Amino acid sequence: MINERLAEMIRVALLQAQREERLPTVEIPQIVLERPREKAHGDWATNIAMVLAGKAKMPPRAVAQVIADALGDDKYINKVEIAGPGFINFYLSNEWLYEVLRDIDREGESFGHSTAGRGERVQIEFVSANPVGPMHVGHGRWAAVGDTLANILTARGYDVEREFYINDFGNQMNIFGKSVATRYVQLLGRDVPFPEDGYQGEYIRDIAREISAAEGDAYLDFAESERESLFLERSYKQVLEHLKVTLEKMGVVFDSWFSERELHASSAVDEAIAGLRESGYVYEEGGAVWFKATAFGEEKDRVLIRANGEPTYFAADIAYHKNKLERGFDRLINIWGADHHGYIGRMKAAVQALGYPADKLEIVIGQLVNLMRGGEPVRMSKRTGEMVTLDELLEEVGRDAVRFFFLMRSTDSPLDFDIELAKEQSNENPVYYVQYAHARISSIVRFAEAENIDLSGGIDYRRLETEPELDLIRKLAEWPEVLERAARQRALHPLTAYAQELAAVFHFFYTKCRVVTDDKELSTARMALCDATRTVLRGVLTVLGVAAPERM
């Protein structure tokens, strides 16, 4: 990228200046290039002169002057300027901008992608909702975040796998079976109390109703425990299928579904504990089996097997992570809700106890979604029965807006999602703003083609020379940097921000520059610019999982 090229030029200039003794021979720090906020300050700027001034015992501007004098000519640099307290500002030539358009034309939607990940195997585990009911809105956020993170890491050259960990073991499953069974019995007229900790949601009744509609009272005289376990299996399957359908509506497809039950069934949990015991990180106390998390700087040790002989969720999770690590991934990324953040330390401790470096496991913590309806908070608990499900949200707001909204905010800040607002605002929605830019370009391209303007006969990019045109190309040129940074920081909201910026710059260009004119050469060049913009816009929308409509 051009900033790397500039940094290298500066480094060469510094070395030369030092050789010529115009600068004292001090160690050269990392050369940082940044985009100035003010357009008047050029395309790129560096503060290197100010950083060096102290060590060199020279005024910053004098250092800057020496560096500027030592810089060689470059066809992509128009002008170098010293400004303010000692910034060196670089103004790029239009030739460089035209080169960007050629890159986009050559690379298509993969413009901005790279091979930086070198095929490293990354597994992202996300959503992992308990299969005891429909997904709530928070799950939708993890789905969007995990899927898009997977998309951008793929674009950066990583070999990414999406996995859903099914928590289909333990107490909440039993309660689930008991809830359905009770509703079934009630439905058939028996006055039995609903379990105090049972799931209140209407969907429990729906499942019970389906069973009774299909098979009547066939299960009425079963022993309670038998009925419950039968209904549990049946309902579990149904809910799992439903999860997949909902995720598909979100545009999320998992490569792998991993069942917690399998761990227990295959004695993987016992083996994991045995392994830790061999390494000396397990002891017994008070009838329970403990993991020595304190050996890794944790505040306290954690129970693996309760005094009643039941393994904890943590024990299963250790076995799960052991399994993942043994599958040969170079890196594991888990996306967890903020309510799990106290869990990170002990999980990383466990990873180390298993003999792996702690940073092999990376946890992306996301704050939760506060669902609102007309300004009133809506409770999200599975037990209230009145929650708004992800399905309903998708139904009301639509997949594109849902995904875009979930990705718009920094993952580690809580998200207020007001359903009424999202519906009312649908025409003012940022997602429509971006999609409209795409549709508008498509319309222009259709019109231009009808006017016999085509790009196959060669394009003279030099005809693009006004500020709205050049600004648009500059914005296109940012995409690789945006993608790189988002992937590195595991942050998605810069992607939606960029999509909006690109759309805005295009809309401005549209009002200033007519594409189809009497000047065929100019029309062709502008058409090429529209085409490049559309290509990049598609690339952005693709990683976001949002549609790029041809018409609106």
Measured between alpha carbons, how far is 394 from 329 in angstroms, rounded to an integer? 33
**Residue 76 touching RNA (CB under 7 A):** no
Measured between alpha carbons, how far is 118 from 157 in angstroms, rounded to an integer? 6
Applying the rule CB under 7 A, the residues between 240 and 299 that interact with RNA are 285-288, 299
How many Cβ atoms are within 10 Å of 531's Cβ, its own excluded?
18
**Residue 550 touching RNA (CB under 7 A):** yes
Among 416, 467, 519, 521, binds RNA (CB under 7 A): 416
> With respect to RNA, which residue has the nearer C-beta, 212 or 500?
500
Applying the rule CB under 7 A, the residues between 433 and 452 that interact with RNA are 433, 436, 439-440, 442-444, 446-448
Q: Tokens representing 348? A: 């990383």
Among the listed residues 298, 320, 300, the one whose alpha carbon sits nearest the alpha carbon of residue 311: 320
According to DSSP, residue 340 is labeled G
> With respect to RNA, which residue has the nearer C-beta, 86 or 146?
86
Residue 416, phi then psi, degrees to nearest 5: -90, 120
Q: Tokens representing 436? A: 């409209």
Helices (H), 29-134: 48-56, 60-70, 94-107
> With respect to RNA, which residue has the nearer C-beta, 211 or 536?
536
**Residue 40 touching RNA (CB under 7 A):** yes
> With respect to RNA, which residue has the nearer C-beta, 332 or 437?
437
Measured between alpha carbons, how far is 508 from 440 in angstroms, rounded to an integer? 12
The enclosing H or E element of 109 equals none
**Segment contacting RNA by CB under 7 A, of 27-35, 117-125, 178-186, 246-254:** 27-35
**Residue 55 touching RNA (CB under 7 A):** no
> With respect to RNA, which residue has the nearer C-beta, 255 or 283?
283
Among 325, 504, 542, 547, binds RNA (CB under 7 A): 504
**Residue 56 touching RNA (CB under 7 A):** no
How many Cβ atoms are within 10 Å of 181's Cβ, its own excluded?
28
Among 21, 27, 511, 518, binds RNA (CB under 7 A): 511
**Segment contacting RNA by CB under 7 A, of 170-178, 205-213, 472-480, 533-541:** 170-178
Longest dimension (CA), the chain: 98
The enclosing H or E element of 537 equals helix 520-544
**Segment contacting RNA by CB under 7 A, of 79-87, 92-100, 263-271, 275-283:** 79-87
Minimum distance, C-beta of residue 130 to RNA, in the bound complex (Å): 5
Applying the rule CB under 7 A, the residues between 448 and 477 that interact with RNA are 448
Minimum distance, C-beta of residue 76 to RNA, in the bound complex (Å): 18
Applying the rule CB under 7 A, the residues between 347 and 406 that interact with RNA are 367
Measured between alpha carbons, how far is 262 from 112 in angstroms, rounded to an integer? 41
Among 72, 75, 452, 551, binds RNA (CB under 7 A): 551
Minimum distance, C-beta of residue 210 to RNA, in the bound complex (Å): 25
Measured between alpha carbons, how far is 153 from 121 in angstroms, rounded to an integer? 10
6: left (phi over 0), alpha (psi -120 to 50) or beta: alpha
Among 314, 356, 380, 385, binds RNA (CB under 7 A): 314
Minimum distance, C-beta of residue 42 to RNA, in the bound complex (Å): 7
Query: What dihedral do alpha carbons 417, 165, 412, 143 form, nearest 10°?
Result: -40
Minimum distance, C-beta of residue 345 to RNA, in the bound complex (Å): 8
| Pattern 124-153, RNA, x by CB under 7 A | ------x-----------------------
**Residue 487 touching RNA (CB under 7 A):** no
| Pattern 87-126, RNA, x by CB under 7 A | x-x-------------------------------------
- At 295, which amino acid appears? A
Please enumerate in sequence order all residues whose Cβ is within 8 A of that of 64, keeping only pairs 6 or more positions apart, or say none.
49, 82, 86, 87, 88
Measured between alpha carbons, how far is 74 from 6 in angstroms, rounded to an integer? 10
Total residues at the site for RNA (CB under 7 A)?
91
> With respect to RNA, which residue has the nearer C-beta, 220 or 303?
303
- Strand pairing of 369-373 and 376-377? antiparallel
Applying the rule CB under 7 A, the residues between 175 and 234 that interact with RNA are none
**Segment contacting RNA by CB under 7 A, of 98-106, 222-230, 353-361, 412-420:** 412-420
**Segment contacting RNA by CB under 7 A, of 15-23, 351-359, 393-401, 487-495:** 487-495
Among 191, 428, 456, 457, binds RNA (CB under 7 A): 428
Please enumerate in sequence order all residues whose Cβ is within 8 A of that of 30, keeping only pairs 6 or more positions apart, or say none.
none
Among the listed residues 309, 235, 219, 232, the one whose alpha carbon sits nearest the alpha carbon of residue 273: 309
Minimum distance, C-beta of residue 421 to RNA, in the bound complex (Å): 8
Burial (CB < 10 A; 0-12, 13-18, 19+), residue 84, is middle
> With respect to RNA, which residue has the nearer C-beta, 211 or 486?
486
> With respect to RNA, which residue has the nearer C-beta, 18 or 425?
425
DSSP labels for 224-248? HHHHHHHHHHHHHHHHHHHHHHHHH
The enclosing H or E element of 370 equals strand 369-373
